[in-house]
Structure 1
Amino acid sequence: MTNPAAERVLKMIETCVDPKSLRQIAANARQKGEMAVARVADLRLYEILPSEKPGSFEHDVWRSIHALEGTLTNERGKTTRLGRTRQKIARVGELETVKSLIVGAKKPSEGFSMLIERQMPELTFEAVALRHPDRFDDTMLNSAAVRLRSVGIEVDRP
């Protein structure tokens, strides 16, 4: 893809709200070896997929889920769903699910590691918790910050 063409596509991605179009743009970009364009399209897709209000805690949680599912689906070539996470959310809700994955587990979750490996630290549940400090106590927020720092991610929390 030529530079002006890539710029035109990137501009289109910014305002696109159609999941089917974003998936097609990402697939075309991958086919042409334009991985940066594919990544931007994927990230925009993950931003628009959640039905919850943008900026809300719940939206951020679902954006993280869609990002990991989408990335794994692309890598594996078959639909991948986070079945246990989705089931837990159905049982206890987003907040309790995130809490259990941050503090309830002694080691980072597999999803945390996968998102870090794929350069998406802002989509980990730990990062989500730090963006919504009003939903968590200090122990939970400190645990989230420590976990992110342990993999070299800078956070603003003391």
Structure 2
Amino acid sequence: MGNERIIEKIFECRDVAKLRAWRSNAQRLGAADVEAAAFAQLILVMPEAEPGTLDHALWRTVYAFEEVLREERGKTILLSRTRQKIKRAGAKQTLIDWALSDAETDGFAMLRTRSMLYLAGEAIVLRFADQFEPEIVAAARGRFELNGLSAEEIQTLADWEG
């Protein structure tokens, strides 16, 4: 029997504790599809912002990163500096600053090593390109190009919906 029924239940769930439990159990049992579904749903329901918005996309990234660090380190980790920056400058300006920074952010590098670049701020800029000036979008695309990603791979990141 496949995991379709449990995955269906996961995508209906809004309870963070249950989603974390499903994810943990799936990891323990080696059920990668269930683990991926639980993680995707977890980071979808955690942000308070309206799904499909720039704010939601950024907060989804913050929560995803915090979840990964929580799992790796065995304790709650908050991205305090990132949270402060978003509060101070706003989601859009935070993404602009990341895209325009001369060097890649620590977060970008950490997401790259975890094969999670679809959550990078630069990927969010590409996903919401119509909300940014062309030079910001070009800078975000350039960050991926500098990391050896092909146009096709970059488009996949831009199209990711979770």
1:11 Cα offset (Å): 2.1
Instruction: State how far apart, in whole Å, the 2-side matches of 1:62 and 1:136 are.
Output: 18
Equivalence for 1:57: 54
Say yes or no: does 1:84 pair with 2:72. no
CA deviation profile, 1:45-66 (whole Å, cap 9, x unmatched):
0011111110000000000111
Structure 1 position 37 matched with structure 2 position 34? yes
Q: Can you list the C-alpha shifts for 1:53-88, whole angstroms capped at 9, x where unaligned?
A: 100000000001111111111111111111100011
Code of the aligned partner of 2:114: R
- Measured against aligned partners, the alpha-carbon deviations of 1:86-116 in whole angstroms (never above 9, x if no partner) come to 011111111111111110x211111112222
Q: Equivalent residue for 1:74?
A: 71
Structure 1 match to 2:154: 155
Q: Give 1:133 shift.
A: 1.4
Out of 7, 15, 21, which is 2:4 matched to? 7
- The answer for the alignment partner of 1:109 in structure 2 is 105
For 2:36 and 2:29, how far apart are their aligned partners in 1? 13
Kindly state the Cα deviation for residue 150 of structure 1 after the two structures are TM-superposed.
2.8
Distance in 1 separating the partners of 2:62 and 2:49: 13
Structure 1, unpaired ranges of 5+:
none
What residue is the counterpart of 1:122 in the other structure? Answer: 118
Name the % identity: 35
TM-score, length-scaled by structure 1: 0.88
Size of the alignment, in residue pairs? 153
2:133 to 134, 137, 142: 137
Moved more, 34-43 or 83-92: 34-43
Q: How well do the aligned residues superpose, as a CA RMSD in angstroms? A: 1.7
Alpha-carbon shift at residue 134 of structure 1 (Å): 2.5
Aligned partner letter, 2:125? A
Listed as ranges, the gaps of 5+ residues in structure 2 are none
Residue 102 of structure 2 aligns with an amino acid whose one-letter code is K
